């Protein structure tokens, strides 16, 4: 009887070790994934390869963000390499506060624009408390992420922290991985789009994270004509009080033959990038 018990315990232990090792191997060799998390009315995008992550924004709720990170990040991984906080609005940073409380953050790239709100204060406090390196992002900065490269497209120059309305100072990034490209635009509006067009940066991309949840003050014709995306991803909450996304923007995409993917309709939207020679696919 005693022997049988010992035998079963050993078997269970071996099975657990085997499961753990196979999981870690599968994570280690995993493909690059770009996940537009369905966080309701806000933005949160997880860029992940194996146990490395870049998180762009954290959505409006700590609880929702933690559930999403728990779902996609490897179980034993408690570190997010880089967080990009596009701008200090609650629907972009509230979830980041909770993420910073629960994960070790390598560094933060953010706009110079600040905001006089409780959630922004909490965000600054947790970064200070954990002594997280924080860098003001500006055009020309680059982050390498395994075989992908991420380039900062906007803001064009240092930003006055007391600027007030920060949408147009959102951090805009471009990700290139072989044949595929993504453009993440935060909540920029037409004036920032014009600055980007004037800068002459290459913004031609396959997948566009639509600026400001599909607001009518963003995504001008001229901007869209330069991006020429195949897919437009709109991160938006069901029946939100802002009327996002607006009909006029949806029409613009339809007229140009751009496929619209909305988080309020599809939930999390996951692009998998299997090889540099092929396009990333849902
Ligand atoms: Zn927003």
Distance 92 CA to ligand 1 centre (A): 6
Nearest to 53 by CA among 29, 67, 74, 68: 74
| List of residues 6+ apart from 91 with CB closer than 8 A | 41, 42, 43, 59, 60
Distance (Å, whole) CA 249 – CA 157: 29
**Total count of domains within the chain:** 2
Same domain? 47 vs 177? yes
Over 70: is that where the pLDDT of 21 sits? Answer: no
- What is the pLDDT at residue 25? 56
Overall average pLDDT of the 105-133 stretch: 97
Q: Does some domain include residue 241?
A: yes
One domain, residues 136 and 12 = no
Q: How far is the CA of 114 from the centre of ligand 1 (A)?
A: 15
CATH code at 217? 3.60.15.10
- Give the distance (Å) from ligand 1 centre to CA of residue 46: 16
Q: Are residues 219 and 265 in the same domain?
A: yes
Q: Are residues 100 and 158 in the same domain?
A: yes
Q: What is the pLDDT of residues 248-258, one digit of tens each?
A: 999 999 999 99
Q: How far is the CA of 181 from the centre of ligand 1 (A)?
A: 22
Q: In the predicted model, is pLDDT for residue 96 greater than 80? A: yes
Tell me, yes or no, whether 93 lies in a domain: yes
Of the pLDDT bands very low, low, confident and very high (cuts 50, 70, 90), residue 232 is very high
pLDDT attached to residue 185: 98
Q: What is the Å distance from ligand 1's center to 212 Cα?
A: 5
pTM, entire model: 0.90
- Please say if the pLDDT value at position 23 is more than 60: no
Is 216 domain-assigned? yes
Asked whether residue 23 falls in the same domain as residue 105, the answer is no
Are 86 and 20 contained in the same domain?
Answer: no
Residues 103 and 224 occupy one common structural domain: yes
Residue count (the chain): 282
Range of the domain at 107: 31-273
Asked if 115 and 88 touch (Cβ cutoff 8 Å), the reply is yes
Distance 17 CA to ligand 1 centre (A): 43
Quick one: 8 and 77 in the same domain?
Answer: no
Q: Are residues 25 and 62 in the same domain?
A: no
Rg (the chain; Cα; Å)? 20
What's the token pair of residue 268?
């999390």
Contact 124, 95 (CB under 8 A): no
| DSSP three-state, residue 83 | strand
The 10s digit of each residue's pLDDT in 237-250 is 999 999 999 999 99
Protein residues within 5 Å, CB atom, of ion ligand 1:
91, 187
Task: Yes or no: say if 253 and 261 are a contact pair by the CB < 8 Å rule.
Answer: no
Give pLDDT, residue 31: 92
Query: Which 3 state secondary structure label does DSSP give 191?
Result: helix
């Amino acid at each position: 009887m005693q022997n049988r018990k010992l035998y079963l315990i050993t078997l269970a232990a071996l099975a657990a070790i085997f499961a753990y090792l196979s999981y870690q191997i599968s994570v280690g060799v995993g493909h690059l994934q770009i996940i537009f998390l369905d966080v309701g009315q806000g933005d949160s995008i997880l860029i992940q390869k194996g146990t490395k992550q870049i998180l762009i924004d954290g959505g409006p709720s700590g609880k929702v963000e933690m559930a999403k990170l728990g779902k996609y990040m490897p179980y034993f991984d408690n570190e997010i390499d880089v967080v990009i906080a596009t701008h200090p609005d609650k629907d972009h940073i509230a979830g980041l506060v909770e993420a910073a409380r629960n994960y070790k953050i390598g560094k933060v790239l953010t706009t110079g624009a600040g905001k006089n709100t409780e959630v922004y204060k909490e965000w600054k406090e947790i970064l200070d408390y954990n002594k997280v390196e924080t860098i003001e992002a500006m055009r020309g900065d680059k982050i390498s992420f395994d075989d992908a490269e991420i380039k900062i497209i906007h803001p064009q120059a240092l930003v006055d922290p007391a600027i007030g309305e920060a949408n147009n100072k959102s951090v805009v990034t471009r990700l290139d991985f072989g044949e595929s490209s993504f453009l993440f635009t935060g909540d920029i509006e037409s004036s920032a789009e014009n600055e980007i067009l004037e800068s002459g940066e290459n913004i031609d991309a396959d997948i566009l994270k639509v600026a400001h949840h599909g607001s009518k003050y963003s995504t001008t014709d001229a901007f869209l004509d330069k991006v020429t995306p195949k897919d437009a991803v709109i991160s938006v909450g069901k029946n939100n009080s802002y009327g996002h996304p607006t009909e006029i923007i949806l029409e613009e995409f339809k007229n140009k033959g751009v496929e619209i993917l909305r988080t309020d309709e599809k939930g999390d939207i996951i692009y998998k990038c299997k090889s540099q020679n092929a396009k990333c696919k849902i």
